[in-house]
């Protein structure tokens, strides 16, 4: 072919080549834009899951899919061993003395108007939203959330695109949700109402419907393994022969400890032992559904090709005890079983099969997640520090802390518990045989060091005795012996000065470890 036909064909070929070139450039631009997106983040926050007493044993899938695929922190702690103040610390990255949530009550500022106007308005999801993250929440938020006195179900905290929050404390069935500010009631039908599964299903739907052009953040707060310990029907017969572990401080007298630890009957009554063994089994049973949640989440991330660009954090708000120092069941105490929590993370830059010794606190979660998002941490009011450098050294440089603060404000009732009239007022959480787990003056602050040669915990109580407990966890890992009368007074003075400094710290001064 020659002449006009050949010239027309050449022109058509040039146009096709131009269109192809433009398409290629558009594709490359899109890929570059997609590659520049910050990583996605998922935080799974269990409720009352211990790590010291075998609490991770039922979680075989979680340990394989998150722990083995990333980093396990063996020295992870909560800065306060109670749900609402601990969760407030997770959301703000602050110690309780700064966010001012003291306990689980509205009077203790749990989801109060003061909380909503102050700390909640600058919690880390707000900063993620500014970074254009798509944000999703499901499960237990704060114990008093959704109460009429706390803004009712219409209150949706800032920073959240999708909001599916439980009204009140943990439940598995027969509960109410706030779904983007609208009340949604649920009954006792397992297929549609079991809260752990509902959280899983709605998070999968969110991932399916999200925009691929923006990163996402999910905070999933299932009820497990908190009371009332309602397992899924398929798991109700699991662990039938399991009992709470009997080693360490189990059923040991609280000799030389705060008076609250000296009041339980020792040895424990058979009725208390049966009660705590039953609770232990049911806690494990509820965790099997949480294990399924983690598996379904990882599978979904893989199917939408986001697994390799997503950090998944797994932890708990506090630990738990079942019979330690003859206390039947609860948390709220200064001992390892209540303040240590599980923490596992997988994600970009984190090599698999890592076991990390660096101490990490729940106030470090917010700055770490914000660090991943690209937020300038100097612009954020947090007491914690990012631990991205600990698990992904190729991405960040950082330092570890040699000591930290644990603080707790005790709760009590102003009147005597009718079930335990001889005990008097000021107590709470009284379980079988009138053993009480908390009191107004169960208020303490501890400084904790992590040093293999001299691993110390120094605690002061705000009570009429000005009681002090000191433990060397290197030689006494179960904290059986209070050595306050044996320690060099100079060491006690040094620990006291550290404690005073930490109790008033804010921001940078909480990270000044000199």
Residue with tokens 């083995």: 68
Number of residues written out for the chain: 514
Q: Which of 31, 83, 434, 459 is catalytic?
A: 83
Whether 61 contacts 68, CB under 8 Å: no
Query: Which is nearest to 331 in space by CA: 323, 343, 319, 317?
Result: 319
Whether 273 contacts 323, CB under 8 Å: yes
- Asked if 221 is an active-site residue, the reply is no
Helix (H, G, I), strand (E, B) or coil at 478: coil
Whether 261 contacts 325, CB under 8 Å: yes
Residue 216 phi/psi, 5-degree rounding, is: -130, 155
Whether 291 contacts 60, CB under 8 Å: yes
CA dihedral 60, 63, 69, 71 (to 10 degrees): -170
Whether 120 contacts 87, CB under 8 Å: no
Rounded CA gap, 225 and 222, in Å? 8
Query: Which is nearest to 272 in space by CA: 322, 315, 309?
Result: 322
Indicate the pairing of strand 310-316 with strand 435-439.
Answer: unpaired
Rounded CA gap, 162 and 176, in Å? 16
Rounded CA gap, 208 and 218, in Å? 13
Whether 311 contacts 40, CB under 8 Å: yes
Whether 301 contacts 310, CB under 8 Å: yes
Q: Where are the alpha helices (DSSP H) in 235-331?
A: 259-262, 270-303
Whether 85 contacts 116, CB under 8 Å: no
Taking each continuous run of H as one helix and of E as one strand, the counts in the chain are: 14, 20
Looking at beta carbons, which pairs linking 299-305 to residues 24 or more positions away fall under 8 Å? 300/204, 300/207, 300/208, 301/207, 304/207, 304/208
Q: Count of CB atoms within 10 A of residue 464's CB?
A: 8
Rounded CA gap, 139 and 143, in Å? 11
Please identify every residue annotated as catalytic: 83
């Amino acid at each position: 072919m020659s002449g006009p036909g050949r010239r027309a064909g050449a022109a058509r070929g040039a146009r096709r080549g131009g269109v192809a070139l433009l398409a290629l450039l558009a594709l490359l631009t899109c890929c570059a834009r997609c590659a520049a997106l910050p990583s996605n983040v998922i935080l799974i926050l269990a409720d009352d899951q211990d790590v010291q007493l075998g609490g991770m044993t039922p979680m075989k899938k979680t340990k394989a899919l998150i722990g083995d695929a990333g980093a396990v922190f063996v020295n992870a702690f909560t800065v306060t061993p109670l749900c609402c103040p601990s969760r407030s610390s997770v959301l703000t990255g602050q110690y309780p003395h700064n966010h001012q949530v003291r306990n689980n009550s509205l009077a203790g500022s749990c989801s109060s108007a003061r909380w909503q106007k102050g700390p909640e308005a600058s919690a880390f999801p707000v900063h993620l939203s500014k970074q254009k993250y798509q944000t999703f929440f499901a499960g237990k938020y704060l114990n008093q959330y959704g109460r009429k006195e706390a803004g009712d179900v219409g209150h949706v905290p800032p920073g959240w695109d999708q909001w599916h929050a439980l009204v009140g404390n943990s439940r598995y069935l027969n509960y109410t949700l706030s779904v983007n500010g609208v009340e949604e009631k649920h009954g006792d039908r397992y297929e549609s109402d079991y809260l752990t599964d509902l959280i899983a299903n709605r998070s999968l739907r969110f991932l399916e419907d999200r925009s691929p052009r923006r990163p996402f953040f999910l905070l999933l707060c299932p009820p497990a393994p908190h009371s009332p310990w309602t397992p899924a029907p398929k798991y109700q017969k699991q662990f039938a022969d399991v009992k709470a572990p009997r080693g360490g401080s189990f059923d040991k007298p609280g000799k030389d400890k705060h008076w609250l630890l000296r009041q339980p009957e020792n040895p424990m009554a058979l009725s208390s032992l049966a009660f705590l063994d039953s609770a232990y089994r049911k806690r494990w049973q509820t965790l099997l559904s949480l294990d399924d949640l983690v598996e379904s989440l990882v599978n979904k991330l893989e199917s939408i090709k986001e697994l390799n660009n997503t950090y998944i954090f797994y932890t708990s708000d506090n630990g738990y005890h079942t019979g330690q120092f003859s206390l039947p069941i609860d948390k709220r105490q200064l001992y390892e079983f209540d303040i240590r929590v599980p923490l596992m993370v997988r994600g970009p830059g984190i090599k698999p099969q890592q076991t990390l010794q660096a101490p990490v606190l729940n106030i470090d979660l917010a700055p770490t997640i914000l660090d991943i998002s690209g937020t300038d941490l100097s612009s954020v009011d947090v007491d914690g520090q990012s631990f991205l450098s600990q698990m992904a050294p190729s991405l960040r440089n950082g330092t570890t802390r040699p000591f930290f603060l644990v603080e707790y404000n005790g709760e009590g009732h102003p009147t005597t518990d009718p079930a335990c009239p001889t005990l008097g007022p000021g107590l709470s959480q009284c379980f079988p045989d009138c053993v009480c787990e908390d009191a107004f003056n169960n208020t303490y602050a501890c400084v904790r060091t992590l040093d293999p040669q001299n691993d110390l915990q120094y605690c002061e109580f705000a009570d009429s005795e000005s009681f002090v407990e000191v433990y060397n966890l290197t030689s006494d890992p179960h904290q059986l012996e209070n050595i306050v009368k044996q320690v060099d007074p100079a060491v006690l003075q040094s620990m006291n000065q550290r404690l005073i400094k930490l109790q008033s710290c804010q921001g940078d001064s909480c990270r000044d470890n000199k």
